């Protein structure tokens, strides 16, 4: 019916005499060139298809985008996106030192050219005009420009002054998950040389509970498989994660895997998220009922005999005690607590246990609770009971948050450990002192005493409590008086009204960040505040460890803009001022104040035996980046015959055993006994001894008697392929090697190095303290995991709840359940009191849930990241989400007369807190639940703080922080906060 003219060709206004044919044929003059180009380049338009199935590497020229200035050569540099832990490669085009465009990196096996909106916009992270350009300090409430030298000088003097009068523990070193591995390590080293364990970063509020929970189950606290490996899964269960928004590129693997395997994809979440939209089944739960849900599933699994009996008997310890707990969760009780009907729980349980391999994916939907560690442990129980561990397509796929939160955690930006999980015991300090080539006694002298040297520091969630609480309530000489923050927001930590008081009480606040961050505007501080312009990770080189433990080396794309400095150089300047630069940088090259990142990584390699950070030399990592296209999409492995990266797994996922020369390929799947250790296989780690002595009451001749059992913690009949020991075995020491007669395989140099480590008793030198790597090498040559072969622990007797126990959130909407499921008693943890029990009891007694009837949960948006200063300043991202909002169910909104897009006041259960934002009326949240993104700041209790930013540095989008409203609640094992489940009330503004 549509009548169309046949004339469809454009008419050219100004026929170019050079191309007379263009007007004649009606084809734009430019069109000719395009087509001839296509023909010449051998790429016919018909073959042009932008899909992952077709590899286009090799033929691509990276020249599109803004044309470079005439005559300027374009160089291509590769770095890693800084916005989540997937680890997408970013290709940058640089001309005349300016980043002029991005190109998709089809070679990367992780993102295959893809990005989310953040990755596709990272160029503006660097070019951004709102970045802090030079150091400033507050002088009587005015931001005043100063030089770097003067800033470091003044800051150093003040730090030394505080150290002098209050001790080193009164300075808090808050680091960042956006550090490179090298910067994270250096930051931890700086705190150690300063003499405190008050050194933390975002992992505290992100996956501290995962690391603790998972490591206490099977040895290491990390994602066991990889994003790519999810392609092998038959059942994908997401509990407490929304990767479509938090890790969008991971959905490429999840959805393709789901499609190819016709896999079950089950999302269990309080919100119908963008991830849930693609699930085969969506289960809406009440926030804070993870353990009850898992036990509900396990109840059905054991009831129906769906458990993996062989796996349980060979590789798991402690099932009996867990079954006692499971017995407390029949379907009726599960429904009473979680609201989930029996059929649904049973169905999900059946899929997970029988449609194998099944993987369990989680993020902060499990971790950010007072029961975070127990939640994660419950997840481990489910995986172990169903035998979904240590093989492709299964495992705990724990999605970490930031670019390098895995690496920064590994490298010890943590109050409980030195780099690479060595802990804080004397042996750990001695190990690192050997690596650093400093005298142990000197190191000890940096601390007030040996006890504090070996005592975990204050978690980042409690820094303001450690500032505000009376001295006698804090287990260190004095409260915190100065914060030195590198790349960490304040608005991602709960209880902001108290943080504001904390900021005001500090003697000095130093924020080293590309942006001023909310730290700079929240308080009424007038002096003693310094903002130092850090460069972004794109302006420096170094390695990053993504969530699946792969290390990727990023090249410096452009020099730091304005007066920004990279983290290495800043820390070097500070160390010089504090007087220990020569010792701290003893084996790290510094040229004209420029620190060598490669040297830092080599130092990490020299000390990183415990976690297998020893094989990833800068040279190997760079070879991987050069040869990205050779790695398989699913297995992540390069062909064995490749001269540069033959047989390696992409990014040498830790543990990558031995020295770089040993050429271990990395471990793509942890605890996988189907591969030899030398090829990336492994066993559960023997981290908790070889046996456990338990006193049990048993019936003997009709009488109850107490018996002492020696439970075997080592694996039974399970071992990795090629292992010469066909059973469980303890971790390797020189002594163990000797018993096996394998010590003769050690070279003379290795023997000598081992003897140097412990001249008195060399037999005690272990795989993790042997600086030669010899013990690891020999164990692996005999097919054994250096760390031993043990059972995973269903019962973690060193944790507050050895077997996970459901406990209601501190501010629960179900006070009726508190009597049955109270939180743990008050106690002192991490140098500060945790009064969660009293707070919970008071909330029940005062009927808080009546005044604040809505559950408040928070989470992530795809456009923004973390505290959000950087992404809210990015002009391409900020346009997409211009307001802070609260999601509210249409029924709750209707009751309150709230319309979609209208302004509301949200009030919180503590501190008479309130926040003004827009309402987003949506069925994403169920009735009785409100949800907010946590990336906003710059408004506080209805006031716009834009004017308080240093001129020109205010982010484009400002808004209220959800953490103005969040409340008390800390996981006893890690100090994790509880922003995922609290209470609030909402009314139309």
Kindly identify the residues of this chain, within the stretch 36-95, that bind another protein according to CB under 8 A. Answer: 37-38, 41, 43-53, 59-61, 63-67
- How far from 490 is each of 176, 463, 486, 499, 969, CA to CA, in Å? 12, 10, 11, 8, 17
Count the residues in the chain.
Answer: 989
Answer for the pair 276, 269: CB distance below 8 angstroms, yes or no: yes
Q: How far apart, in whole angstroms, are the C-alpha atoms of residue 814 and residue 523?
A: 35
Site for another protein in 852-881 (CB under 8 A): 862-863, 875-877, 879-881
Smaller CB separation from another protein, 612 or 926: 926
CA distances for 26 relative to 6, 15, 31, 36, 937, angstroms = 13, 10, 10, 16, 55
Among 24, 149, 157, 259, binds another protein (CB under 8 A): 259
Give the H/E segment covering residue 228. none
Nearer to another protein, 661 or 923 (CB): 923
- Is residue 9 at the binding interface for another protein, with CB under 8 A as the rule? yes
Which of 31-39, 632-640, 660-668, 977-985 is the region at the interface with another protein (rule: CB under 8 A)?
31-39
Binding mask 273-292 for another protein (x = CB under 8 A): -xxxxxxxxxx---------
DSSP helix/strand/coil, 468:
helix
> Of the two residues 45 and 699, which places its CB atom closer to another protein in the complex?
45
The residue whose two tokens read 């505000």 is 468
- What DSSP string describes 904-915? EEEEESSTT-EE
Hey, is 781 helix, strand or coil?
helix
Quote the CA–CA distance of 887 and 245 in Å, as a whole number. Answer: 15
**Which lies closer to another protein via its Cβ, residue 16 or residue 96?**
16
Query: Is 101 one of the binding residues for another protein (CB under 8 A)?
Result: yes
CB of 230 to another protein, least distance (A): 13
Binding to another protein by residue 736, rule CB under 8 A? no
Least CB distance to another protein at residue 8 (A): 6
550 touches 649 (CB < 8 A): yes
Part in contact with another protein (CB under 8 A); list of ranges 35-43, 193-201, 217-225, 422-430: 35-43
In the complex, minimum distance from the CB of residue 268 to another protein, in angstroms, rounded to a whole number: 11
Q: Where are the alpha helices (DSSP H) in 262-359?
A: 290-303, 309-315, 319-326, 331-338, 342-354
Q: Contact with another protein (CB under 8 A): which of 241, 248, 516, 815?
A: 248
> If 0-12 CB within 10 Å is exposed, 13-18 middle and 19+ buried, where does residue 59 land?
exposed
Pick 877 or 930: Cβ nearer another protein: 877
Choices 109-117, 408-416, 489-497, 587-595; region in contact with another protein by CB under 8 A? 109-117
Closest to another protein by CB, 724 vs 923, is 923
Least separation in angstroms between residue 514's CB and another protein is: 18
- Contact region with another protein (CB under 8 A), list: 3-11, 482-490, 661-669, 688-696: 3-11
Contact region with another protein (CB under 8 A), list: 115-123, 178-186, 364-372, 513-521: 115-123
* Range in contact with another protein (rule: CB under 8 A) among 114-122, 629-637, 679-687, 750-758: 114-122
d(CA 688, CA 696): 20
Q: Are 468 and 478 in contact (CB under 8 A)?
A: no
- Nearest partner of 510 among 140, 168, 171, 183, judged by Cα: 171
Q: Whose Cβ is closer to another protein: residue 603's or residue 863's? A: 863
Instruction: Pick the binder of another protein from 114, 517, 672, 982 (CB under 8 A).
Output: 114
CA distance 974 to 373: 8
Q: Which two tokens stand for residue 38?
A: 């296509």
Residue linked to tokens 């338990």: 694
Closer of 119 and 774 to another protein (Cβ): 119
> Any contact of residue 96 with another protein (CB under 8 A)?
no
Provide, rounded to whole angstroms, the least separation between the CB of residue 604 and another protein: 32
Tokens representing residue 660 in the block = 């770089």
Q: Tell me the residue ranges of DSSP E strands in 489-579.
A: 508-513, 529-533, 542-545, 551-554
Cβ-contact 410, 382 below 8 angstroms: no
| Smallest separation, CB 912 to another protein (Å) | 28
Instruction: Name residues contacting another protein, limited to 206-245 (CB under 8 A).
Output: 244-245
The residue (of 24 and 752) whose beta carbon lies closer to another protein is 24
Smallest gap from Cβ 521 to another protein, in A, equals: 24
Segment 900-959, which members bind another protein (CB under 8 A)?
900-902, 921-925
Give the nearest distance from C-beta 252 to another protein in angstroms: 5
Place of tokens 């999605």: 399
Nearest residue (CB) to another protein, 41 versus 674: 41
Site string for another protein, 336-355 (x = CB under 8 A): -----x-xx-xx--------
Measured CA to CA, the distance from residue 622 to residue 81 in angstroms comes to: 17
Nearer to another protein, 31 or 528 (CB): 31
Ranges within 775-794 binding another protein (CB under 8 A):
none
Complex with another protein: residue 171 or 348, whichever CB lies closer: 348
Residue with tokens 């973690």: 796
Instruction: For CA atoms 464, 468, 473, 478, give the dihedral sign.
Output: positive
Least Cβ distance, residue 965 to another protein (angstroms): 22
- Minimum distance, C-beta of residue 116 to another protein, in the bound complex (Å): 4
| CB contact at 8 A, 202 and 866 | yes
Among the listed ranges 112-120, 155-163, 743-751, 807-815, the one in contact with another protein (CB under 8 A) is 112-120
- DSSP code of residue 202: T
Q: Please, which residue, 276 or 312, has the CB nearer to another protein? A: 276
Residues 357-386 that bind another protein (CB under 8 A): none
**Distance in Å from the first CA to the final CA of the chain:** 53
Q: Is the dihedral of CA 125, 126, 131, 134 positive or negative?
A: positive
Comparing CB distances to another protein, the nearer of 154 and 539 is: 539
- The single residue among 87, 104, 401, 866 that binds another protein, judged by CB under 8 A, is 104
State the minimum distance, in angstroms, from the CB of residue 63 to another protein: 6
Q: Smallest gap, in angstroms, from Cβ of residue 937 to another protein?
A: 19
CA–CA separation, 905 and 876 (whole Å): 29
Strand partners, 239: 268
State the CB neighbour count (10 A cutoff) for residue 756: 13
Is residue 16 involved in binding another protein (CB under 8 A)? yes
Residue 373 neighbours by CB under 8 Å, 6+ apart: 209, 212, 213, 216, 799, 800, 801, 971, 972, 973, 974, 976
One residue of 82, 89, 109, 124 binding another protein per CB under 8 A: 124
**Between 725 and 956, whose beta carbon lies closer to another protein?**
956
Closest contact distance (angstroms) between CB of 872 and another protein is: 14
How would you write 947-976 as a 3-class SS string?
A: HHCCCCCCCCCCEECHHHCCCCCCCCCCCC
CA distance 31 to 26: 10
CA distance linking residue 559 with residue 308, whole number of Å: 55
C-alpha span between 309 and 469 (Å, rounded)? 51
Closest approach, Cβ 85 to another protein, in A, equals: 15
Using rule CB under 8 A, residue 304 touches another protein: no
Q: Does 309 bind another protein (CB under 8 A)?
A: no
Closest by CA to 68, choosing from 99, 31, 41, is: 99
Number of residues that bind another protein (CB under 8 A): 103
Indicate the residue among 282 and 767 with the shorter CB distance to another protein: 282
Q: Binding to another protein by residue 260, rule CB under 8 A?
A: yes
User: Would you say 547 or 977 has its CB closer to another protein?
Assistant: 547
Strand partners, 792: 316
> Smallest distance, Å, CB 972 to another protein?
35
């Amino acid at each position: 019916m549509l009548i169309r003219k046949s004339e469809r060709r454009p008419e050219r206004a100004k026929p170019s005499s050079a191309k007379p044919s263009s007007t004649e044929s009606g084809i734009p003059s430019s069109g000719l060139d395009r087509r001839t180009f296509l023909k010449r380049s051998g790429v016919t338009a018909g073959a042009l298809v932008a899909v992952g199935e077709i590899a286009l590497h090799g033929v691509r020229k990276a020249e599109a985008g803004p044309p470079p200035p005439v005559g300027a050569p374009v160089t291509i540099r590769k770095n890693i996106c800084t916005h989540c832990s997937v680890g997408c490669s970013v290709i940058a085009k640089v001309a005349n030192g300016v980043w002029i465009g991005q190109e998709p990196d089809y070679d990367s096996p992780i993102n295959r050219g893809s990005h989310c909106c953040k990755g596709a916009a990272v160029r503006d992270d660097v070019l951004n005009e709102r970045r802090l350009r030079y150091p400033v300090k507050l002088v009587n409430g005015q931001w005043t420009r100063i030089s770097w030298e003067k800033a470091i000088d003044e800051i150093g003097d003040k730090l030394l002054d505080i150290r002098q009068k209050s001790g080193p523990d009164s300075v808090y070193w808050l680091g960042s998950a956006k550090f490179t591995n090298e910067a994270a390590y250096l930051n931890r080293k700086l705190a150690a040389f300063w003499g405190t364990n008050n050194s933390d970063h975002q992992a505290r509020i992100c996956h501290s509970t995962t690391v603790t929970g998972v490591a206490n189950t099977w040895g290491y606290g990390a994602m066991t498989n990889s994003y790519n490996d999810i392609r092998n899964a038959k059942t994908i269960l997401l509990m407490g994660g929304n990767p479509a928004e938090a890790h969008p590129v991971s959905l490429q693997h999840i959805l393709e895997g789901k499609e190819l395997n016709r896999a079950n994809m089950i999302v269990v979440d309080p919100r119908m998220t963008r991830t849930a939209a693609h699930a085969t089944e969506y289960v809406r739960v009440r926030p804070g009922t993870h353990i009850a849900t898992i036990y509900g599933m396990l109840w059905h699994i054991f009831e129906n005999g769906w458990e993996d009996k062989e796996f349980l008997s060979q590789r798991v310890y402690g099932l009996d005690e867990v079954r006692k707990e499971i017995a407390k969760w029949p379907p009726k009780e599960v429904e009473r607590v979680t609201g989930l009907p029996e059929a649904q729980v049973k169905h999900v349980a059946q899929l997970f246990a029988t449609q194998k391999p099944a993987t369990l994916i989680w993020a902060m939907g499990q971790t950010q609770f007072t029961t975070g560690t127990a939640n994660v442990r419950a997840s481990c129980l489910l995986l172990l009971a169903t035998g979904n561990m240590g093989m492709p397509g299964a495992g705990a796929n724990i999605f970490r948050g930031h670019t390098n939160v895995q690496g920064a955690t590994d490298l010890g930006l943590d109050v409980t450990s030195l780099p690479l999980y060595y802990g804080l015991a004397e042996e750990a300090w001695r190990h690192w002192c050997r690596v650093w080539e400093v005298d142990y006694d000197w190191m000890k002298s940096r601390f007030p005493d040996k006890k504090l040297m070996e005592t975990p520091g204050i978690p980042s969630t409690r820094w303001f409590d450690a500032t505000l609480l009376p001295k006698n309530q804090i287990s260190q000489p004095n409260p915190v008086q100065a914060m030195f923050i590198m790349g960490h927001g304040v608005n991602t930590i709960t209880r902001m009204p108290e943080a504001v008081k904390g900021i005001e009480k500090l003697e000095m606040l130093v924020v080293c960040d590309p942006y001023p961050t909310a730290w700079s505007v929240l308080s009424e501080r007038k002096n003693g505040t310094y903002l130092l312009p850090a460069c972004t990770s794109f302006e420096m080189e170094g390695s990053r460890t993504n969530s699946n433990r792969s290390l990727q080396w990023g090249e410096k794309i452009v020099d730091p803009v304005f007066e920004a400095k990279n983290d290495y150089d800043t820390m070097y300047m500070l160390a010089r001022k504090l007087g220990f630069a020569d010792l701290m940088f003893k084996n790290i090259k510094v040229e004209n104040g420029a620190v060598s990142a490669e040297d830092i990584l080599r130092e990490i390699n020299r000390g990183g035996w415990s976690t297998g950070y020893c094989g990833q030399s800068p040279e190997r990592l760079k070879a991987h980046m050069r040869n990205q296209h050779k790695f398989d999409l699913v297995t992540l492995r390069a062909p064995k015959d490749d001269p540069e990266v033959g047989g390696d797994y992409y990014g040498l996922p830790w543990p990558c055993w031995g020295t770089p020369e040993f050429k271990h390929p990395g471990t793509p799947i942890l605890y996988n006994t189907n591969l030899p250790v030398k090829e990336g296989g492994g066993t559960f780690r023997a981290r908790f001894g070889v046996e456990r002595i338990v006193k049990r009451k048993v019936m003997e001749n009709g009488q109850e008697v107490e018996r002492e059992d020696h439970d075997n913690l080592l694996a039974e009949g399970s071992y990795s392929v090629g292992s010469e020991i066909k059973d469980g075995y303890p971790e390797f020491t020189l002594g163990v090697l000797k018993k096996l007669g394998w010590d003769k395989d050690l070279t003379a140099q290795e023997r000598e190095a081992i003897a140097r480590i412990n001249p008195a008793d060399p037999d005690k030198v272990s795989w993790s303290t042997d600086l030669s790597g010899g013990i690891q090498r020999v164990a692996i040559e005999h097919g054994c995991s250096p760390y031993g072969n043990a059972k995973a622990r269903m019962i973690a007797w060193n944790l507050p709840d050895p077997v996970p126990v459901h406990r209601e959130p501190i501010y629960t909407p179900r006070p009726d359940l508190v009597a049955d499921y109270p939180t743990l008693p008050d106690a002192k943890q991490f140098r500060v009191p945790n009064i969660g029990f009293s707070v919970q009891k008071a909330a029940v007694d005062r009927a808080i849930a009546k005044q604040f009837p809505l559950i408040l949960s928070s989470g992530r948006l795809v456009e923004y990241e973390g505290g959000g200063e950087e992404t809210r300043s990015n002009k391409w991202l900020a346009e997409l989400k211009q307001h802070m909002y609260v999601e509210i169910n249409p029924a709750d909104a209707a009751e309150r007369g709230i319309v979609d897009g209208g302004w509301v006041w949200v009030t919180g259960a503590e501190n008479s807190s309130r926040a003004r934002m827009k309402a987003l009326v949506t069925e994403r949240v169920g009735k009785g639940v409100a949800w907010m993104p946590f990336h906003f700041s710059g408004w506080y209790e209805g006031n716009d703080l834009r004017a308080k930013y240093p001129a020109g540095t205010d982010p484009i989008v400002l808004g209220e922080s959800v953490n103005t409203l969040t409340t008390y609640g800390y996981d006893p094992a890690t100090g994790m906060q509880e922003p995922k489940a609290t209470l609030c009330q909402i009314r139309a503004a």
